[in-house]
Amino acid sequence: MVVLVALTGLALRLWFVFATEGTPDVAYWAGHAQGLDRLGFGYYRTSWLVNHPPSALLAVHALWRFAEASGVPFRIVLRLPMLLADVASVLLLLRGLGDATLGLKAATAFWLAPLAIVLSSHHGNTDAWLGTFALASVVAMGRGAPLLAGVALGAGAGVKVAILLVLPVLLRGVPETGPRIRFWTGLFAASGVAFLPALLMPDWAGLDRVFGYGGITLRTLSGQWVWGIRSFDASLAAIGLGPAAALYDRLHRGIALGAVLAFAALDPRPARDPVALGRRVGASFLIFYGLTNSLSFQYFAWSAPFLALMPAPFRWGLMTLLGAYVWVVYAFVSEDWLLRGGWDFIGHPVWPTAIVALRDASILACLACAIGFLALATRRRIAWWRAR
């Protein structure tokens, strides 16, 4: 059975890598690589779409150069390393949790999850590596290696700084001064190496988009939002909450990040093992998803390994719901259930009722998780205060 699961997940990923075109992110990355090849790091000044650190741009540029030299399509060369990110996550789940039974369940759920498969092997972006590096950091921290945990997190920051969303929870796993210093040392050392290429830039114009990256807000030409509480603006306006919804839309980034910080600070329970830490990281991602209005599909790849190690309702229920939403949208805009068609988001401005229902259910599920996790952490903090 284990061999069958392994071969099935691998075959599906390889099929998507070789048989599909991916999303426009593949073309964006090709453009970034060509821009870097032509202009060097001065390319940051010419394109507002560049929001990845210089190290990520260099890595993809190397992949593009290989594709050009070998004749292998760039879409394949770009996405094969993302498949490897999933392999690394599976190995971490299997060997790093300290619980063989849970590790097998989590690895199986992740390896077969449509959510993980589509976002790593079809989509065409680097987000799968954020989930892998975050998981490596959690495993290292939970196994008493804060220096390695910092190194893993710093390496992930070299892919995209959004990985630092897990930092508040990780810091709660190292309350002692010595281990915390080792963690920060590893984080600054690895992220320093990752951002070292910035020293080659003629100036640092454009790095504000890297460090100030606030997510993407997507909507169709008919005005249907891809994600966020703003999807319910019409309903909220109908019950007199239109001004409140408009205010929330202006503040949602700060609210989402503040809620992640509050969750990490409120829960008084120690989280020293990889499972407890990983589940809190998963909860942090769900809080962020539930409260932000700026989210693109590939951001779910950050949390996929952590959802897989959470209790069964999240492992199966939420991963299935989010995976169904992503897959159905991708199938709709590519006009093929196996995602073989070209991505045409603009050409599909009106979403069918089924997709809208899946979107709304996904948003509400994440919002319910956000409220529930924050309420539970608050309740535990109050009980802790009373018991002192």
Distance CA 324, CA 113 (A): 10
Q: Can you give the pLDDT at residue 41? A: 82
Q: What confidence score (pLDDT) does residue 103 get?
A: 93
Instruction: Name, in order, each residue with C-beta under 8 angstroms of 316's C-beta and a sequence gap of 6 or more.
Output: 109
What is the predicted pLDDT for the residue at 329?
A: 97
Q: What six digits make up the tokens of 208? A: 């504000």
Give pLDDT tens digits along the chain (388 positions): 788 999 999 999 999 999 999 999 999 999 999 999 988 888 888 877 888 888 999 999 999 999 999 999 999 999 999 999 999 999 999 999 989 999 999 999 999 999 999 999 999 999 999 999 999 999 999 998 999 999 999 999 999 999 999 999 999 888 788 989 999 999 999 998 888 877 666 666 667 777 777 677 788 898 899 999 999 888 888 888 888 888 888 888 899 999 999 999 998 877 778 999 999 999 999 999 999 998 889 999 999 999 999 998 888 999 999 999 999 999 999 999 999 988 999 999 999 999 999 999 999 999 999 999 999 999 999 998 888 7
Rounded (10°) angle between helices 274-291 and 300-308: 140
Spatial contact of 110 and 305, defined as CB atoms under 8 Å apart: yes
Residue carrying the six token digits 């004749």: 71
Q: Are 249 and 237 in contact (CB under 8 A)?
A: no
Domain holding 84, by residue range, is: 2-387
* Sole residue written with tokens 């061999």: 3
List phi, psi (to 5°) of 225: -75, 145
Q: How far apart are CA 247 and CA 150, in angstroms?
A: 37
Residue 202 pLDDT: 64
pLDDT at residue 363, rounded to an integer = 97
C-alpha angle 137/142/143, rounded to 5°? 100
Q: State the Cα–Cα distance between residues 117 and 83, nearest whole angstrom.
A: 8
What pLDDT is stored for residue 205 in this prediction?
A: 65
Contact between residue 231 and residue 360 where contact means Cβ atoms under 8 Å apart: yes
Q: What does the pLDDT read at residue 28? A: 94
> What's the burial of 209, exposed, middle or buried (CB within 10 Å: 0-12/13-18/19+)?
middle
**Overall number of domains in the chain:** 1
Contact 323, 111 (CB under 8 A): no
Say how far apart CA 262 and CA 232 lie, in whole Å.
25
Give the model's pLDDT for residue 353.
Answer: 95
- Give the chain's end-to-end CA distance (angstroms, integer): 50
Contact 23, 130 (CB under 8 A): no
What are the C-alpha distances in Å from 276 to residues 54, 97, 163? 33, 10, 18
Contact 358, 325 (CB under 8 A): yes
Q: Report the pLDDT value the prediction gives residue 294, as an integer from 0 to 100.
A: 87
Q: Which residues contact 284 (CB under 8 A, 6 or more apart)?
A: 165, 166, 168, 169, 260, 263, 264
314: helix, strand or coil: helix
Give φ, ψ of 203 to 5 degrees: -155, 175
